[in-house]
Amino acid sequence: MLTSTNGSSNILPPQYGALITDPLTENALAFDSRVTTTIRTGAERFRAPRLVEDVAAAWVAEGEEIAPSDPTLDEIEIVPKKLGGLTIISRELAEDSNPSAQAIVGQSLARALTTQVDTGFFGAGAEAAAAKGLGSITPTVHTGQLTSLDLLHEAKALAADNGGKPTALLAHPSDVLTLAKLKEGTGSNQALLQSTDSAAGVPVISTRHANPGTLWMVDASQILTVLREDTTLAVSRDAYFTSDRIAVRATVRIAWGFLTPAALVRIHLTTGA
């Protein structure tokens, strides 16, 4: 959906995706396939089925009847919340036919939306208008010191105990640095990890939006990022008429759903005595 006014339509290409949706889904951690499963919907709300208990199976003798059973199913409802970005530009920039002018506006809005999406992904969604992120769930919690990879292997085991298959470790850059500085042994200068791209068998994703001292062992199949398909990009001269400037507004609707919170592990790092 696009709206425009006479004389400022140059900043609005026929498709808004290249300006807003594509950069957002390409750059936001919340759309990384190692972290979440993305669902696009045109509906106001999305209902995701959740398996509570599998079909029962049992050993039977030859010729014996097999007792039928049904899986126990549940569902969670995910309602995408509106996220908006607004930038004010000069009329000259708006009417510039150079594609770089479109890029300047689009990149600015896309960066703003990406920052808020990733901040919200780790947040609790305390504000009524905000989507609820990782901070709103009750995951499995593990605590310890990051002096070796044992803590991460333990977290993987905890996730597996709750039906999870970890696909990524999310960490603040300062904690990734701690991983990078781990040594093979006492008195050794040899790094334990040759690269911090992965640790304990899972990809390590560094993000400034994570809280320092808190790591997340996540399973992408257990986290849904639901994006509504009614992204809008609109322009208006009205509010800034006297200064000959133009407002450009972008809105997206997004929310997260967590199928089995216990399959996600929040790791609290301690510093020791």
Q: Is 226 within 8 Å of 39 (Cβ atoms)?
A: yes
Sequence ranges of the domains in the chain = 2-51+71-132+224-258, 136-222+261-269
Q: What does the block give as tokens for 201?
A: 């068998």
Give 16's DSSP letter. Answer: S
Residues 211-270 pLDDT 10s: 999 999 999 999 999 999 888 777 777 777 777 787 888 889 999 999 999 999 999 999
Sort strands 168-171 and 214-218 into parallel, antiparallel or unpaired. Answer: antiparallel
CATH value of 136-222+261-269 in 3.50.50.60, 3.40.50.1580, 3.40.50.10800, 3.30.2320.10: 3.30.2320.10
Residue 133 CA to residue 125 CA, distance in Å, equals 6
The answer to whether 256 touches 223, Cβ cutoff 8 Å, is yes
Q: What angle do CA 226, 232, 237 make, to 5 degrees?
A: 155
User: pLDDT tier at 93 (50, 70, 90 boundaries)?
Assistant: confident
257 phi and psi angles, rounded to 5 deg: -130, 140
pLDDT digits (tens, 9 = 90+) for 107-147: 788 888 999 999 999 999 888 889 999 999 999 999 999 99
Q: What tens digit of pLDDT does each residue of 158-209 get?
A: 999 999 999 999 999 999 999 999 998 888 889 999 899 999 999 999 999 9
Q: Which residues pair with 84 in a beta bridge?
A: 251
pTM: 0.82
- Decide if domain 2-51+71-132+224-258 falls under CATH 3.20.20.70: no
